[in-house]
Structure 1
Amino acid sequence: MADAAARRAQVAGGLLILILLPLAHTPSHAATPARSSSSTAAFQLQGDVYPTGHYYATMNIGNPAKPYFLDVDTGSDLTWLQCDAPCQSCNKGSNQKCPSPQQCDYRIKYTDSASSTGVLITDNFTLPLRNSSNVRPSLTFGCGYDQQVGKNGALQAATDGLLGLGRGSISLLSQLKKQGITKNVLGHCLSTSGGGFLFFGDDLVPTSRVTWVSMARSTSGNYYSPGSATLYFDRRSLGVKPMEVVFDSGSTYTYFASQPYQAVVSALKGGLSKSLQQVSDPSLPLCWKGQKAFKSVFDVKKEFKSLFLSFANGKNAVMEILPENYLIVNKNGNVCLGILDGTAAKLSVNVIGDITMQDQMVIYDNEKTQLGWVRGSCSRSAKSMSFLP
């Protein structure tokens, strides 16, 4: 069985088509009363870009609450977890029953051919607030009874489900805002050493040093997009036209359309020393080996130069993509390019994935319709009062 990272390398996960099939009405539960002031909920993350292939949060759901591992996905709206209803292709985990006959069916398809089919239900989520208290809102999510992962559904899903944090009204963030629990602000910090943290609300958003870009309406869907960007390598333009970009934590790697992808590959190859030799490796399409096996990206990053994305929607808004934000070192000790050809993967947009967002706090502020990022260590606790480099 291919590992999650290699599996996600084929097509970016997270971008979706959602079809809701209303058969009746969603089962009703008493909602948490709206609060007069909002708070921030914070969660520790687990996982990594390689070899896990995703970052995931533990969400406590139900009464009594049980823990579920959910893949953090800002590229889709619907949260779902595996239920028995009956189960055809079960993820590990849940014993939750799907209610019948009052139900609203859903079917969701992702661009990597993964899918989930089930019914919408509501239940309590236990959210840890930064003031050390908990809140237990009743939220709507998908109770999935048929999940397909990999070719013909041959692979086992690595988590219990998916945490949909997109811009749509069904996302958990939108529901929490509607109930007055948190503001419609989301942030995550993915560590290169694994793990990191996630938060809902604006208490952890730094007051300075953040690069902000106005959100643009993506031409390909309801995604978080900072609009078009010009691509540079080692501060030199690669001569490709500005490209629309979306931020998607459900994608392990970063995807550029064919023209900018080929330009990046040519620029990288042109700047490498003879100590690196291109080698065929099953991990990713483009890998190199050194005179001895590499233990981490930091052993080899001096051989590579930074990429830069200059965004038109922000004043001096530039994201530097350091070598550690586009390279991995795999179990064979080879260094591989974590930017992939999005055109070959049949993507219509350029996707900034987990690898490029590592060791940066990335903020999705739906209140002010802006996206922000600031570089720093993501290995610290989400309960930190400030984000310092």
Structure 2
Amino acid sequence: MLLALLLVLFFLSSPNITITSSRIITESKTSSGHAIPYPPFEHFNVREHIDQTRFDRAEINGYDENQETSKKQAYFTSYEDENNNNATKWKLKLVHRDKLPHDSSKFSDHGERFLARMERDSKRVSSLVKKLSGGGKYEVEDFGSEVVSGMDEGSGEYFVRIGVGSPARSQYMVIDTGSDILWVQCQPCTQCYHQSDPVFDPALSGSFSGVSCGSMVCERVESSGCHSGRCKYEVSYGDGSYTKGTLALETLTFGRTMVRNVVIGCGHSNRGMFIGAAGLLGLGGGSMSLVGQLGGQTGGAFSYCLVSRGVGSTGSLEFGRGVLPVGAAWVPLIRNQRAPSFYYIGLSGLGVGGMQVPISQNVFRLSESGYGGVVMDTGTAVTRLPTSAYVAFRNAFLAETSNLPRAPGASIFDTCYDLNGFVTVRVPTVSFYLSAGPILTLPAKNFLIPVNERGTFCFAFAPSPSGLSIIGNIQQEGIQISIDGSSGYVGFGPNVC
């Protein structure tokens, strides 16, 4: 309550604050009622982004399997364990899945990787909509009972590396803010997809302990059942992917720190689009996610920063109240009882070139019955908007880019440009007008993305198949996003990855 009061006082007393490093400003009204923009236009470096798509291919084709261990070290094992005013702080590195050669090497160029990513993304969105519209129920053959999926289509875009068991065995894990299930593939494996590391064998772990059917832990898991006295789970996905197995208590290792008795799913039968990863690290808002289970140690707080797919650096995932940045723009979390795993925020409008697009705020509202609203999701790549909002937003962008040569649509995108031969182009920035006052203004690289190596760039937004809006990871890239579940706030900035 004290933190919430301080945040409210902060916003009331500072209406004109500009946070330039993360492209965020709080709302400041002119006499005409328009928000003062920052910045309305920018010069977008076309050549740099085209060159980056070719660099990605060279990097992947030149990958040496013998260097895998050093790459894992470079991308996944950086960690900080420290006390900050008696608050635990853990830090892990994040990397985009395209950096995993086991997934990327089958694609010969950037265009093929782009199409595969959009296919995964479409399936992710379809299953999110199915889940949040009340249609996400699946039959569990092992248990003979109907359950609701704990996570919707785990294509996985960003990965961390953690230790599982005792002694710790390092595993790649997909991060997902829309899931409350933490699971890994386990031996004996009746059906497993390919992963980069050996499949986890619980028989070799001294800390593995199965969960009985009668335990309170089993009762707390939404998709659970019972078989031979052991608590079973299944998570099904909209594209037919799934994981099912037994629940267990296990030790996880973050660098030098061990966290004991974490509830995990030990998946003995798994199928899906998780290629390269051993499983999934659920960071949702429910009690069984990693965030929920660590609540007593971290205060229910975590922060992440996603780097762009084409850069050589890594992002970060940090846990603990000590990671919450000073000077961030904070907005309230909106709770949806129908979908407690998801992080909703209020959105009042959209802007192009510093001007707010005329769209009714009602388009973005979460209804009393739990439909619609705006979800922040790390597993979705491209931001989806209700069709009426998308059309108005897109048309406003088209009006400001009428001087740029158009290209045919690509995959889910209907607004594309032929920028072959350009060095730089002047384009408008776009903005999210958040309901609590701040305006999040994105640089061009967060919404104008290359779809091939020939200079075709597309406006990286798409219409939603329902009234649900989803802020995807492309639009989140380069911004430090902090979630303080106990106080009910989401922070943006001020630091960039």
TM-score > 0.5 by shorter chain: yes
In structure 2, the residue matched to 1:166 is 284
In structure 2, the residue matched to 1:206 is 325
Which region of structure 1 is more displaced relative to structure 2, 359-368 or 328-337? 328-337
| Aligned residues of 2:302 and 2:323 also touching (Cα < 8 A) | no
- Rounded Cα–Cα distance in structure 2 between residues aligned with 1:219 and 1:304: 40
- 1:235-314 correspondence to structure 2 within 5 Å: 235-242=354-361, 243=364, 244-282=373-411, 284=413, 286-292=415-421, 302-312=425-435, 314=436
In structure 1, the residue matched to 2:447 is 326
Which region of structure 1 is more displaced relative to structure 2, 87-96 or 67-76? 87-96
In structure 1, the residue matched to 2:349 is 230
Cα separation, partners in 2 of 1:56 and 1:323, compared to 1, 3 Å: same
State the shift of 1:355 in Å: 0.7
| Aligned residues of 2:353 and 2:400 also touching (Cα < 8 A) | no
State the shift of 1:199 in Å: 0.6
Encode CA deviations 1:196-252: one digit per residue, 9 max, x unaligned. 0001111121222x1111111237512111124322222323222221211111212
State the shift of 1:282 in Å: 4.7
Q: Does residue 114 of structure 2 align to residue 9 of structure 1?
A: no
| Aligned residues of 1:166 and 1:224 also touching (Cα < 8 A) | yes
- Rounded Cα–Cα distance in structure 2 between residues aligned with 1:373 and 1:351: 16
Cα separation, partners in 2 of 1:280 and 1:54, compared to 1, 3 Å: same
SS in 2 for 1:63: coil
State the shift of 1:285 in Å: 5.0
In structure 2, the residue matched to 1:48 is none
Cα separation, partners in 2 of 1:309 and 1:274, compared to 1, 3 Å: closer
In structure 2, the residue matched to 1:353 is 472
SS in 2 for 1:77: coil
TM-score, structure 1 as length reference? 0.75
SS in 1 for 2:201: coil
- Rounded Cα–Cα distance in structure 2 between residues aligned with 1:348 and 1:84: 42
Could you list the runs of 5+ residues in structure 1 that have no partner in the other structure?
24-51, 150-154, 379-389
In structure 2, the residue matched to 1:29 is none
| Aligned residues of 2:325 and 2:494 also touching (Cα < 8 A) | no
- Rounded Cα–Cα distance in structure 2 between residues aligned with 1:377 and 1:109: 35
| Aligned residues of 1:9 and 1:252 also touching (Cα < 8 A) | yes
- Rounded Cα–Cα distance in structure 1 between residues aligned with 2:487 and 2:319: 15
The RMSD of aligned alpha carbons is 3.0
Could you list the runs of 5+ residues in structure 2 that have no partner in the other structure?
1-105, 107-111, 144-154, 204-209, 211-226, 365-372
- Rounded Cα–Cα distance in structure 1 between residues aligned with 2:348 and 2:179: 22
State the shift of 1:354 in Å: 0.9
State the shift of 1:101 in Å: 3.8
Identical-residue share of aligned pairs (%):
23
Cα separation, partners in 2 of 1:147 and 1:227, compared to 1, 3 Å: farther
In structure 2, the residue matched to 1:41 is none
SS in 2 for 1:138: strand
Q: Does residue 273 of structure 2 align to residue 146 of structure 1?
A: no
Encode CA deviations 1:255-310: one digit per residue, 9 max, x unaligned. 11211122222222222144432234458554322132x7xxxx65x433222222
SS in 1 for 2:390: helix
Cα separation, partners in 2 of 1:11 and 1:341, compared to 1, 3 Å: farther
State the shift of 1:66 in Å: 0.9
Of 297, 305, 316 in structure 2, the residue corresponding to residue 181 of structure 1 is 297
State the one-letter code of the partner of 1:218: N
Larger radius of gyration: 2
Of 179, 188, 211 in structure 2, the residue corresponding to residue 76 of structure 1 is 179
- Rounded Cα–Cα distance in structure 2 between residues aligned with 1:273 and 1:228: 27
| Aligned residues of 2:404 and 2:417 also touching (Cα < 8 A) | no
Encode CA deviations 1:163-201: one digit per residue, 9 max, x unaligned. 100010100111112xx3222101101122252000111
Number of equivalent positions: 327
- Rounded Cα–Cα distance in structure 2 between residues aligned with 1:171 and 1:261: 32
State the one-letter code of the partner of 1:367: S
State the one-letter code of the partner of 1:157: I
Which region of structure 1 is more displaced relative to structure 2, 320-329 or 56-65? 320-329
State the shift of 1:351 in Å: 0.8
SS in 2 for 1:88: coil
- Rounded Cα–Cα distance in structure 1 between residues aligned with 2:333 and 2:450: 33
- Rounded Cα–Cα distance in structure 2 between residues aligned with 1:365 and 1:18: 30
In structure 1, the residue matched to 2:99 is none
- Rounded Cα–Cα distance in structure 1 between residues aligned with 2:247 and 2:496: 37
Q: Does residue 471 of structure 2 align to residue 342 of structure 1?
A: no
- Rounded Cα–Cα distance in structure 1 between residues aligned with 2:329 and 2:396: 26
- 1:369-388 correspondence to structure 2 within 5 Å: 369-378=488-497
| Aligned residues of 1:20 and 1:107 also touching (Cα < 8 A) | no
Cα separation, partners in 2 of 1:106 and 1:287, compared to 1, 3 Å: farther
SS in 2 for 1:90: coil
- 1:94-105 correspondence to structure 2 within 5 Å: 94-97=199-202, 101-105=228-232
State the one-letter code of the partner of 2:386: A
Cα separation, partners in 2 of 1:283 and 1:232, compared to 1, 3 Å: closer
In structure 2, the residue matched to 1:109 is 236
SS in 2 for 1:120: strand
State the one-letter code of the partner of 2:385: F
SS in 1 for 2:490: strand
State the one-letter code of the partner of 2:163: N
Cα separation, partners in 2 of 1:182 and 1:56, compared to 1, 3 Å: same
Cα separation, partners in 2 of 1:364 and 1:286, compared to 1, 3 Å: same
